[in-house]
Amino acid sequence: MAMHIPKPPGFLSMLKEGALACLSIAKTTRSTYGPCGLNKIVINHIGKQFITNDAATILRELEIAHPAAKILVMASQQQDQEAGDGTNIVFQLAGSFLEQARDLLKMRAMIELLKKHMKYLMVSSALLIWIELVVDEIADVRNISLVKPAIRSAIMSKQVDFAEMLSDLVSKACSKLASVFIYTLLQGSGVMSSQMINGMVFKRDVEGDVKEASNCKVVIYSCPLDSLQTETKGTVLLHTADELTSFSKGEEAQIEKIIASIRDAGAKVIVSGGKIGELTIHYANKF
């Protein structure tokens, strides 16, 4: 009886190719890391040019085809969605781990054992390093005088001349909102005209028929309110007009069910950060 599980012949070469693909991404964004990071010129598939040092923007505009590299890009996107920053450190950490593990893979080390030990060392070492790197602690994150110095250092890496003003505005914006107000007029046209508003500001008009609501619940989505297309192409074969009618009715019923569930939850106002379809607006007006 075999004492180990046999692996396919191309397994190790597949691991090496995946590691190289992830390392190439990490090396691409390595020079943009930190407050003194360099800008890169990125030209996407439609010829649009970007000059930025933001790793999320760089990887969003590049066409990544390798599956392992795509997983790394998805991890950075999740980091951007949950924390709003730190996308580049995801690439650098993953690249560093893969670079250290590449030699061990060449020595035919067991992958499961390698994952277990790397996870243990990563957590134990990080806890020790974090204690040494702590400069100061903020007892109350709602206290503007305590939060402002921490925010100022991050803003100075991008806007040195306006760091004092912007750090004060950002610190005030971190306070809890008591209510929501919608403003239809934006005043000011420069950085020095910036001001903090106790509420939410929308740069476009209301899409539905109802233009005003008071004492109501508001639901906010960062995703589009529309029927989306999948990444893979799909083909639907329709033989008769009845099949076409049934297909469109099924899509309408799905949108109606979603809007009805929002209505049943007690929300009367919907705020979306993405596209809003005409069918969604129709059922929102209906309910």
In the chain, what are the domains? 11-133 (1.10.560.10), 144-193 (no CATH), 217-286 (3.50.7.10)
pLDDT score for 147: 82
How far apart are the C-alpha atoms of 101 and 97, rounded to whole Å?
6
What is the rounded average pLDDT of the residues 231-258? 76
Q: Which of 126, 70, 74 is nearest to 96 (CA)?
A: 126
What is the rounded average pLDDT of the residues 66-75? 85
pTM for the complete prediction? Answer: 0.52
The residue that leads in pLDDT, 156 or 39, is 39
pLDDT score for 3: 47
How far apart are the C-alpha atoms of 279 and 249, rounded to whole Å?
12
pLDDT score for 1: 41
What is the rounded average pLDDT of the residues 43-51? 82
Picking from 46-60, 80-94, 109-123, 266-280, which range would have the lowest pLDDT averaged per residue?
109-123
User: For residue 109, is pLDDT > 80?
Assistant: no
* Confidence grade of residue 285 (pLDDT, cut at 50, 70, 90): confident
How far apart are the C-alpha atoms of 250 and 234, rounded to whole Å?
16
User: For residue 79, is pLDDT > 60?
Assistant: yes
User: For residue 2, is pLDDT > 50?
Assistant: no
User: For residue 231, is pLDDT > 80?
Assistant: no
Average pLDDT score, the chain = 77
- What would the DSSP string read from start to end of 46-82? T--EEEE--HHHHHHHS----HHHHHHHHHHHHHHHH
User: For residue 8, is pLDDT > 70?
Assistant: no
